[in-house]
Chains A and B, each alone.
Chain A
Amino acid sequence: LLSAGIALPLFFALGLAGLAVGLGLHFSSGTIRELELDYTGAPRSNHDCARCTNASATSGPCLCTLRFELAEPFPGPVCLYYQLSNYYQNHRRYGVSRDDLQLSGDPWGLRVANSLFNDTFTLHRLVNGSFMPVPLDSRGISWWTDSNVKFRNPELVNGSLATAFWGTAKPPNWPCAAYLLDAGNPNNTGFVNEDFIVWMRTAALPTFRKLYRRVHQGNFSAGLPHGTYRLDINYSYPVLPFKGTKKVILSTVSWMGGKNPFLGIAYLVFGSACILTGFVMLAVHIKYQQQNQMDED
Chain B
Amino acid sequence: MADQKVSTSCLNGKKQQSDFTWEVRANDRAYHMQFKKRVSFCLTKRKYADNAIKTGKYNALTFLPLNLYEQFHRMANLYFLFVILLQTFPEISTLPWFTLLLPLGCLLIIRGLRDLIDDIARHKSDWIINCRPCEILSGKSFSWKKWRDICVGDIVCLRKDSFVPADLLLLSSSEPSSLCYVETADIDGETNLKFRQALLVTHEELMSVESMAAFDGKVTCEEPNSRMHSFIGMLEWKGEKYSLDSEKILLRGCRIRNTEICYGLVIYAGFDSKIMRNCGKIRLKKTKLDRMMDKLVILVFLVLMIASFFLAVACGIWAEKFRRDHSYLSTFYAKTSPIKQAFFTFWGFMILLSIIIPMSMYITLEFIYLVNSFFIDWDVEMYYPAKDTPAKARSTSLNDQLGQIEYIFSDKTGTLTQNIMTFKKCCINGIIYGPGTGRKRRLLDESLSWNPYADKNLEFYNPLLLEAVRRDDDPAVREFLRLLAICHTVMVEEKDSQLVYQAASPDEEALVMAARNLGYVFLSRTQDTITISELGVKRTYKVLAMLDFNSVRKRMSILVRDPNGKIRLYTKGADMVILTRLHENGANEKITEKALDSFAEETLRTLCLASKEVNERDYTEWSKKHHKASIMLENRAEELDKVYEEIEKDLKLLGATAIEDKLQDGVPETIQLLKKGNIKVWVLTGDKQETAMNIGFACRLLSDDMLILEEEEISEMLSAYWVSNNNLSSSGEPLCSDSFVQKPLDTFRRGNTALIITGDFLDKILCIGEVVKKKKENFWKRMLCCKAEVQQEQESLLEKAFMNLATSCQAVICCRVTPKQKSLIVQLVKKHKSAITLAIGDGANDVNMIKTADIGVGISGQEGMQAVQCSDYALAQFRFLQRLLLVHGRWSYLRICKFLRYFFYKTFSGLMSQIWFAFYNGFTAQPLYEGWFLALYNVFYTAYPVLSMGLLEQDVSAKKSLQFPELYRMGQRDEFFNYRVFCLTLLHGTATSLGSFYIALWAFEDKVGSKVVGDYESFAVTVATSALLSVIIEIILDIKFWTVLSFLTVAGSLLLFCVFSYLTQNFQAFKEAPSIFRFPDASKNALTDPYVLLIILLCVVANTIPSLTFRLVRVIMGKSTIHQIRMKDMRLERDMVELRAHFQRGSMQRRSSYAFSHKEGYADLITRGASLRGRDSLGLSTTPVPVFRSSSSPRLEAHKTRVEFLA
Q: Which of A8, A85, A209 has the most CB of B within 10 A?
A: A209
A208-B1014 CB under 8 A given contacts A2-B1037, A270-B1098, A296-B1130: yes
A203-B1015 CB under 8 A given contacts A91-B921, A149-B1067, A257-B1007: yes
Check: A273 CB closer than 8 A to any chain B CB.
Answer: yes
B1101 adjacent to A270 (CB under 8 Å): yes
Check: B1081 CB closer than 8 A to any chain A CB.
Answer: yes
Question: Would you list which residues of chain A between 253 and 290 have a CB under 8 Å from chain B?
Answer: 253-263, 266-267, 270, 273-274, 277, 281, 284-285, 288
Return chain A residues, CB-CB under 8 Å to B1018: 204
Nearest to A288 among chain B residues (CB) is: B1116
Nearest to B1078 among chain A residues (CB) is: A100
What's the Cα separation between A261 and B1008 when bound, in Å?
11
Minimal beta-carbon separation of B914 from chain A (angstroms)? 12
Return chain A residues, CB-CB under 8 Å to B328: 87, 94, 114-115, 173
Which residue of A92, A202, A208 contacts B1006 across the interface (Cβ within 8 Å)? A208
A90-B329 CB under 8 A given contacts A262-B1005, A262-B1007, A277-B1105: no
What's the Cα separation between A18 and B1098 when bound, in Å?
9
Which residue of B1078, B1081, B1097, B1116 contacts A145 across the interface (Cβ within 8 Å)? B1081
A92-B1115 CB under 8 A given contacts A143-B1085, A204-B1016: no
Question: Would you list which residues of chain B between 928 and 972 have a CB under 8 Å from chain A?
Answer: none
Check: A205 CB closer than 8 A to any chain B CB.
Answer: yes
Which residue of A114, A205, A242 contacts B1004 across the interface (Cβ within 8 Å)? A205
Return chain A residues, CB-CB under 8 Å to B1095: 263
B1112 adjacent to A2 (CB under 8 Å): yes
A260-B1015 CB under 8 A given contacts A150-B1080, A241-B327, A243-B325: no
What's the Cα separation between A266 and B1001 when bound, in Å?
13
A90 adjacent to B1067 (CB under 8 Å): no
Return chain B residues, CB-CB under 8 Å to A126: none
A284 adjacent to B1113 (CB under 8 Å): yes
Minimal beta-carbon separation of A3 from chain B (angstroms)? 6
Interface pick from B28-36, B177-185, B827-835, B1086-1094: B1086-1094
**Per-residue 0/1 for B319-363: is the Cβ within 8 Å of any A Cβ (1 yes, 0 no)?**
001100111110110000000000000001000000000000000
A149 adjacent to B1080 (CB under 8 Å): yes
A273-B1105 CB under 8 A given contacts A149-B1071, A262-B1002: yes
Check: A238 CB closer than 8 A to any chain B CB.
Answer: yes
Check: B926 CB closer than 8 A to any chain A CB.
Answer: yes
Q: Which of A18, A93, A207 has the most CB of B within 10 A?
A: A93
Check: A14 CB closer than 8 A to any chain B CB.
Answer: yes
Nearest to A206 among chain B residues (CB) is: B920
Return chain A residues, CB-CB under 8 Å to B1130: 296
Minimal beta-carbon separation of A294 from chain B (angstroms)? 13
Q: Which of B329, B1013, B1019, B1070 has the most CB of A within 10 A?
A: B1013
**Per-residue 0/1 for A228-257: is the Cβ within 8 Å of any B Cβ (1 yes, 0 no)?**
000000000010011100000001011111
Return chain B residues, CB-CB under 8 Å to A18: 1101
Check: A211 CB closer than 8 A to any chain B CB.
Answer: yes
B1009 adjacent to A257 (CB under 8 Å): yes
A4 adjacent to B1112 (CB under 8 Å): yes
Which residue of B329, B1008, B1016 contacts A202 across the interface (Cβ within 8 Å)? B1016
- Secondary structure at the B interface, as helix, strand, loop or mixed, is helix
A14 adjacent to B1115 (CB under 8 Å): no
Minimal beta-carbon separation of A242 from chain B (angstroms)? 4
Check: B492 CB closer than 8 A to any chain A CB.
Answer: no
Minimal beta-carbon separation of A29 from chain B (angstroms)? 9
Nearest to B333 among chain A residues (CB) is: A93
Minimal beta-carbon separation of A288 from chain B (angstroms)? 5
Return chain B residues, CB-CB under 8 Å to A8: 1112
Check: A1 CB closer than 8 A to any chain B CB.
Answer: yes
Nearest to B1001 among chain A residues (CB) is: A205
B1089 adjacent to A257 (CB under 8 Å): yes
A201-B1017 CB under 8 A given contacts A4-B1115, A90-B921, A281-B1112: yes
A95-B1094 CB under 8 A given contacts A145-B1080, A209-B1014, A258-B1008: no
Check: A104 CB closer than 8 A to any chain B CB.
Answer: yes
Minimal beta-carbon separation of A229 from chain B (angstroms)? 21
B1112 adjacent to A7 (CB under 8 Å): yes
What's the Cα separation between A11 and B1040 when bound, in Å?
20
What's the Cα separation between A251 and B1008 when bound, in Å?
10
Nearest to A251 among chain B residues (CB) is: B1008
A260-B1007 CB under 8 A given contacts A14-B1105, A94-B329, A145-B1081: yes
A258-B329 CB under 8 A given contacts A3-B1115, A92-B925, A288-B1117: no
A281 adjacent to B924 (CB under 8 Å): no
Check: B54 CB closer than 8 A to any chain A CB.
Answer: no
What's the Cα separation between A101 and B465 when bound, in Å?
104
A256 adjacent to B1016 (CB under 8 Å): no
Nearest to A237 among chain B residues (CB) is: B328
A2 adjacent to B1113 (CB under 8 Å): no
B1098 adjacent to A266 (CB under 8 Å): yes
Nearest to B1065 among chain A residues (CB) is: A145
What's the Cα separation between A115 and B326 when bound, in Å?
11
Which residue of A3, A90, A241 contacts B920 across the interface (Cβ within 8 Å)? A90
What's the Cα separation between A8 and B1108 when bound, in Å?
10
B1094 adjacent to A257 (CB under 8 Å): no
What's the Cα separation between A242 and B1001 when bound, in Å?
22
Nearest to B1008 among chain A residues (CB) is: A258
B1091 adjacent to A207 (CB under 8 Å): no
Check: A181 CB closer than 8 A to any chain B CB.
Answer: no
A242 adjacent to B1081 (CB under 8 Å): no
Which residue of A145, A242, A260, A267 contacts B1085 across the interface (Cβ within 8 Å)? A145
Check: B1020 CB closer than 8 A to any chain A CB.
Answer: yes
A88-B322 CB under 8 A given contacts A95-B1016, A205-B920, A273-B1105: yes
Nearest to B922 among chain A residues (CB) is: A88
B1070 adjacent to A149 (CB under 8 Å): yes
Minimal beta-carbon separation of B1108 from chain A (angstroms)? 7
Return chain A residues, CB-CB under 8 Å to B1070: 100, 104, 149-150
Return chain B residues, CB-CB under 8 Å to A87: 326, 328
What's the Cα separation between A254 and B1091 when bound, in Å?
10
Return chain B residues, CB-CB under 8 Å to A46: none
Which residue of A4, A203, A243 contacts B1014 across the interface (Cβ within 8 Å)? A203
Check: B999 CB closer than 8 A to any chain A CB.
Answer: yes
Minimal beta-carbon separation of B1010 from chain A (angstroms)? 4
Q: Which of B328, B1007, B1095 has the most CB of A within 10 A?
A: B328
Nearest to B1000 among chain A residues (CB) is: A204
Check: B1111 CB closer than 8 A to any chain A CB.
Answer: yes
Which residue of A81, A97, A270, A281 contacts B1008 across the interface (Cβ within 8 Å)? A81
What's the Cα separation between A242 and B326 when bound, in Å?
5
What's the Cα separation between A94 and B922 when bound, in Å?
11
Question: Would you list which residues of chain A between 109 and 148 have a CB under 8 Å from chain B?
Answer: 111, 114-115, 143, 145
Check: A161 CB closer than 8 A to any chain B CB.
Answer: no
What's the Cα separation between A249 and B1117 when bound, in Å?
53
Q: Which of A81, A149, A260 has the most CB of B within 10 A?
A: A260
Return chain A residues, CB-CB under 8 Å to B922: 88, 91, 206
Check: A83 CB closer than 8 A to any chain B CB.
Answer: yes
A207 adjacent to B1105 (CB under 8 Å): no
A256 adjacent to B1090 (CB under 8 Å): yes
Return chain A residues, CB-CB under 8 Å to B1013: 81, 208-211
Q: Which 7 A-B pairs have the closest CB atoms?
A: A204-B1019, A115-B328, A257-B1009, A92-B924, A92-B926, A100-B1074, A242-B325
A-B contact pairs, 18 of them (CB 8 A): A1-B1042, A2-B1111, A2-B1112, A18-B1101, A87-B328, A88-B924, A90-B920, A91-B332, A92-B925, A94-B329, A94-B332, A100-B1074, A204-B1019, A255-B1090, A256-B1091, A256-B1094, A267-B1094, A274-B1105
Q: Besides the contacts A11-B1112, A143-B1081, what 15 more A-B pairs have beta carbons closer than 8 Å?
A: A83-B1006, A88-B322, A90-B926, A93-B329, A94-B332, A100-B1074, A101-B1075, A104-B1070, A150-B1067, A201-B1016, A204-B1014, A205-B1001, A260-B1091, A262-B1003, A288-B1117
